[in-house]
Each structure stands twice: as structure tokens, then as C-alpha cells.
Structure 1
């Protein structure tokens, strides 16, 4: 993957999302504690952390599945509250979860337009316009650089990486401002992961869609991401540019201890001003 062709994120790129002091508890379990993140136009932000760190809760709040106990969300310069996923989508926030929400026995082009099908009138009947959907799906996948055997193929005949790309492409087709990818590389092989990473890299190169990427493989973070937010025990313990650190440094920081203070101390030892 050629990262040299990726233009640096403009210093003047506007902030498209701010989540400030977000806290969330489920009964006696505290999932998030005053979490604050920012996302700029065209930026790819890696959200990392161990299981139970609060990553899934944070994106479910952003996606409208959960409401925060405290804190604010500002999207496109306006404070918003999401009572449902529909509210989040109305603000241009699309989320692709690990289950992908694809229908295996439907064709690729039918999955691309699931819930927003094109129709045509014929002899007084309202029929699916399969030809238009097929052509539009092929054109759009070609534009994104996604290669599959045929848009007529059923999804269950595709590889895991190809399915992930179709799910991402479907979300991008709705012209989101923010795309959230929940561990899109989980359970994928090297070759399949390369398909998905290539798609994310294409989005990064265009700098039109802002992406939040939940990922566990630190090497992949430095391939396609501009910035890292490390969550630990419901807190953002590290916020760093990928240009200012490395995979080795990130691993050392993560292993340095528990909590924000320990990570800040380790970061200061490695490279002053990192945190």
C-alpha cells in the first residue's frame, strides 16, 4: 500500500465532530468517564483499547443506540442529541458493524440498495428497477476500486473482505459525513484485510469522508490512520498523531501501566510532548 500518495490532512480542516465529557453507566458498571474526542474533515481516527475499554459504547452513543448520561455531541458545529440511529444517520453518521447487516442470499446490487431500491412503473405495476440498480452498483464499486466477480453474485459467495467492502460501499453510497467502522478487519486474512485497508486508504486520499476506525492491529493503524485515541477503563488515555509516534512506541505506551498518568509518564519518557 502506497502511503506516499496520501495528502497530509490540512491544518485548516474544520472539525466535523466533537464529543465532550461523555459518560455512560449501565447500573453499577461504568462504561465511559468524561470521554472527549474530536474528528476533522477527511481525517481517519483510530480508536483502540482492550475489550471493555468503552469503544463500543462510545460508537453506539455516536450512532444513536445509546444516550449518554452526561456530555455533549456537536456535529457540523451544532449541538445534537440522538434518540435513535435514524437521528444519527440524518446528521450524516453511518456505522458499519461486524455483522455487516448484509443479506447473504441476495445479490450484491440488491444489497447495495437494500431499503432504498429504485422502482419503475410497468403496465401499472410498481416493479424493482433491477437494471438501474445493477448499473449504478457496478459504476459505484468501480469508482471505489472494489473488485468482485459480479454484482449479480449473491453475497454469500463472496470472501469476507469482499463482503466488508460491500458493506462499507453501501454506507458510503448514502454520502455520509462520518463513517464509523467497528473492527472491519476482525477475522479477515491478510489478503482480505488488504481489500478493506485499500478502500479506507482511498477514502483517506480523497479527504471527503471522516472515518472512525476501531481496530486491534497496531500495524494497520499506521498504514491508514492520521491519529490515534487510546481508551483505557472508559477514559481517553492517549491522543496522538500517527506521524508523531510509531507502532513500537504505541505498544510500549499501552504496556506501560494502567490509567492516564502511567501512560503520560511513559509517553514523556519516549518522546516529550507526545501526549
Structure 2
């Protein structure tokens, strides 16, 4: 992975990316990008190709076609470690949290702050508690006690902790895998608020979801997938919530949106 980064380039970009497993094509010809301080929403029902795209962006799977660029430089990720080295972190649905451990222990899990050397080395508990509390506060999260087991937090709060943790450890781009899918209305709204806060801090967000209403609440641009293919990438001023919903629904609803989608497509036509 060589080359000089372009400060004005998107944080992450895919051009004509696809993935095949033997004779089965899971993703074909997807093009999209996300910049700093921007939320790109990737929408689609089950089987649309969202999971495959996540794995490519996160470095878990290599694409079988197309190009991936980070900061304007073509990259080939051999593992998620390569993506993390470039500031690209993925927060999966399971969150990789240990329910019985305190919030601060989960925040620093695998990257604990220590003091001393050799046999005198020990955890710097005070520093980790303080950093956890401060970083959560920057995201607008106020917890009763960072010593409480993280399993006692609501689903929305656990998602927020996972997002704040990724940002703390240097992520400039956070990929969120269906962060609102298992949450009620109030908890989903909480997560959407934290996504907006992260964007306002200059973090790029790839928000994977099957819910167009959640996407519309925070999205700057929208990529719609169906059966492994892209139905288009649209700016917020190029498409309506009704059109997004229609694209996902297909059939007669999609036909009724023909004129609006034609106008959106013409906006991308260089001619």
C-alpha cells in the first residue's frame, strides 16, 4: 500500500467494485465514496449485498473486481488491520463488548493504558476512566457511572460507546453495520443523534441500514443496493424520501417514481 495521500480526496472510495464466490456473484459494479464530515447511507433489504460491501470496505474480503481508494490512493487491504491503519473502523451489530465488564474496561478492551514496567506494570485505571468519560461527553453521552457494567446500558447507549471508542482510537471513517436494526424508536433516535454528532466532528460515516427513514434522518448521500447491484448513488438534494423508499420496494412503486429518478440520473450525467 503505497502512494501519497490526497488531502482533498474522499476518505474512502470504491469504483466498480464487485465480489464473486466461485460462480456466485454477491456484488457487482458498485461505485461510491464518502468524505470527511459526511454520512453515506447504504440501503438495501436482506440479500442486497450490504454485508459483502461492508467486508470489502473493512478489509475482511478482497474484491474480485474494481478499485478501492483511501485518501485518493489505490489500496489493497489484506486484512482489517490494513483498514484500521488508515483510520477506517467498523462497528458490527454484535459490538464486540463484554456485558459484565465496566464501561471503561470495554472502551479500552485490548488497548489498555498501563503505567510502570516489567513486574511493576499495572493498569492506569484513573486515566482510562477519565478518558472514557471525556470522550463520551464529546459525543454528548453522559453516563451515571463509567464503572457500571456495559450490559446495563440501553442498546442505543452501547452503540454510542462503540462509536466513541472507534473515534478515540483514531478512526476518521466509521462503518456502522445496521446500528438501529434491533432498537426501539427512542433508542434508534439516540443512535441517529450520535451519528450526527460524529459527522459534525468531521468523522466520515458509512451507515448501513434497511430503514430509509433512519437513513433520511442523518444521510448526506444515499447508495441503494438490490440483489448485489447498485441502483444509484444520490445526494440529498437529488432524491426524496419517497423515492428512496420506492427504490427499495421496487415494482409498481418504483415505476411511479420514474420521472424523479430520471431527473436524479441526469444530475450525474456529465453531458
Q: What TM-score comes out, normalization by structure 1 length?
A: 0.88
How far apart, CA to CA, are the structure 2 residues paired with 1:187 and 1:196? 12
Secondary structure of the equivalent of 2:90? strand
Alignment of 1:96-245 (within 5 A): 96-121=91-116, 125-206=120-201, 208-245=202-239
Q: From the superposition, tell whether residues 267 and 16 of structure 1 become closer, same or farther in structure 2 (CA, over 3 Å).
A: farther
Q: How many Å apart are 1:124 and its aligned residue? A: 5.0
Aligned twin of 2:260:
270
Q: How many Å apart are 1:85 and its aligned residue? A: 0.7
Could you give the per-residue CA deviations for residues 160-202 of structure 1, whole angstroms, max 9, x where no partner exists? 1111111111111112121100000011111211221111111
Secondary structure of the equivalent of 1:251? helix
Q: From the superposition, tell whether residues 134 and 71 of structure 1 become closer, same or farther in structure 2 (CA, over 3 Å).
A: same
Q: How many Å apart are 1:270 and its aligned residue? A: 2.8
Q: How many Å apart are 1:129 and its aligned residue? A: 0.6
Structure 1 segments unaligned to the other structure (5+ residues): 1-11
Task: Report if the CA contact (8 A) 1:18-1:38 is conserved.
Answer: yes
How far apart, CA to CA, are the structure 2 residues paired with 1:246 and 1:79? 33
Q: How many Å apart are 1:122 and its aligned residue? A: 8.0
Q: How many Å apart are 1:109 and its aligned residue? A: 0.5
Secondary structure of the equivalent of 1:250? helix
Aligned twin of 1:86:
81
How far apart, CA to CA, are the structure 2 residues paired with 1:106 and 1:85? 25
Task: Report if the CA contact (8 A) 1:61-1:67 is conserved.
Answer: yes
Q: From the superposition, tell whether residues 84 and 271 of structure 1 become closer, same or farther in structure 2 (CA, over 3 Å).
A: closer
Aligned twin of 1:74:
69
Size of the aligned set, in residue pairs, is 259
How far apart, CA to CA, are the structure 1 residues paired with 2:162 and 2:200? 20
Alignment of 1:16-35 (within 5 A): 16-35=11-30
Task: Report if the CA contact (8 A) 1:256-1:266 is conserved.
Answer: no
Q: How many Å apart are 1:96 and its aligned residue? A: 0.2
Structure 2 segments unaligned to the other structure (5+ residues): 1-6, 266-271
Q: From the superposition, tell whether residues 272 and 135 of structure 1 become closer, same or farther in structure 2 (CA, over 3 Å).
A: same
Q: How many Å apart are 1:41 and its aligned residue? A: 2.1
Q: From the superposition, tell whether residues 231 and 167 of structure 1 become closer, same or farther in structure 2 (CA, over 3 Å).
A: same
Aligned twin of 2:58:
63
How far apart, CA to CA, are the structure 1 residues paired with 2:43 and 2:86? 24
